[in-house]
Structure 1
Amino acid sequence: MEPVEINAGSCYLRQLRADGFIDDRPALIAAFDDPVFLRFVPGFDLSTTAAADDYVARRAQEWLDGTRCSWAIAEPTTGELLGEVGLKRLDLPHGNAETAIWLRPGARGRGLATTAVGAALRFGFGALGLTAIHYLHEPDNVASGAVAGRCGFTYIGPVLGTRDVRWTVGPGEVA
């Protein structure tokens, strides 16, 4: 599947880039060094330009493979990377996926996560024909739970064998 760009009003969703026009690598390295990010999304090491190159290439390949739709959340006038939103664990035959979202520290608290997740949900239900999208997060991540609630997800409960809790939303439930 080819990447799709989405104008979401207060932000622009586009593919992550590292080319002669836009270079998201410095912003990725800074974002993945944020203590709040590392607390809730452990296990990522994007401390070098080479690691950021691999990350951008992996996201592009996931689009092509149809396993993940991932967008850079960008400032609409400058293209500055503010975060990333996506539909991961994309299972088109069964009609479901899981939402992923993170924002750089300076982009938090402005409603961008809700806007970006809402746009990704509409793409998943409208363009991909998904029937259910899930949202998982650690219970301590109160901001993430608030985003799920504002986007129309219904709280399901703890995920066995993890610290995460699960929310779900269907096509007619997106806020």
Structure 2
Amino acid sequence: MPEILPWVVAPGTLSAGPQPVLASEHGLLLRPWTVADAPMIVDAFGDPATRHWHGRSVESVAEAEGLIDGYTRGWQSESSANWAVVTGGGEVLGRVGLRAFDLAQGEAEVAYWMRAAARGRGAAPAGVRTLSTWAFGAGLHRLILHHSVANAASCRVAQKTGFDLEGVRRSAYLHTDGWHDVHLHALISPHPSEGPDSR
């Protein structure tokens, strides 16, 4: 059946160019991942909290390199977009990204983690704010953010970055200790009337 509405973000819009480097707050940068970052991913997933909330482990540099390759392919296929959050000196603090792209509806899900040594430095909120600004500039209309109701730190990031709480999805995520209820937060483009016909 033919669609009667144009896609909010036309296919090929994002992958037409290289993934950008984004200047963030506090002198931080968001840049594409490289294979040289693999040890930092192994370090991040050595933290029990990271493994618990993300439901995965990364045990070796080779596994981390595979994950980075997936990040690269995600940009090329417009199915995801992931950045390393780094200091001006090049230290990798963590990851922010978008997944579950629905370009037809102009929606994507925000995801992030920070290395244990980088927490409490404001890097996660800074990264999410920068990512959100870029996403809306790229034409996305709505960003969503999910986290377990027991993950207070992730909830604070959502609150600090302006993501409104829309509700609770009951028993929606399986973590290492069982099923969790999940908060659903969302952030809408500050220019919601600017649909595909107005750009």
Normalised by the size of structure 1, how large is the TM-score?
0.91
Deviation track 1:31-59 (CA, whole Å, cap 9, x = no partner) reads 011011112111x2311121111001000
Q: CA RMSD in A?
A: 1.3
Cα shift at 1:90: 1.3
Unaligned runs of 5+ in 2: 1-14, 173-179, 192-199
Aligned with residue 150 of structure 2, among 140, 154, 161 = 140
Q: 1:161, CA displacement in angstroms?
A: 4.2
Runs ≥4 residues deviating over 4 A: none
Secondary structure at 1:135 match in 2: strand
Query: Which residue of the partner structure matches residue 188 of structure 2?
Result: 170
Q: Which residue of structure 2 aligns with residue 5 of structure 1?
A: 21
1:25 aligns with 2:51: no
Give, in whole Å, the separation in 2 of the partners of 1:153 and 1:9: 18
The aligned amino acid for 1:149 is Q
Q: 2:62 aligns with which of 24, 30, 50?
A: 50
Correspondence for 1:124: 135
Cα distance in structure 1, aligned partners of 2:31 and 2:105: 26
Q: Which runs of 5+ in 1 are unaligned?
A: none
Task: Report the AA paired with residue 20 of structure 2.
Answer: V
| Conserved? CA contact 1:45–1:51, under 8 Å | no
Task: Determine which of 56, 66, 75 is the counterpart of 2:87.
Answer: 75
Percent of aligned pairs with the same amino acid? 30
Task: Tell which structure's C-alpha radius of gyration is larger.
Answer: 2
In 1, Cα distance between equivalents of 2:144 and 2:83: 17
**56-65 or 156-165: which moved more?**
156-165
Higher relative contact order, structure no. (Cα contacts within 8 Å, ≥ 6 residues apart): 2
Rounded to whole Å, the distance in 2 between the matches of 1:36 and 1:45 is: 11
Specify the alignment match of 1:156 in structure 2. 166
The equivalent of 2:118 in structure 1 is 107
Alpha-carbon distance between aligned partners in 2 of 1:131 and 1:116, rounded to the nearest angstrom: 19
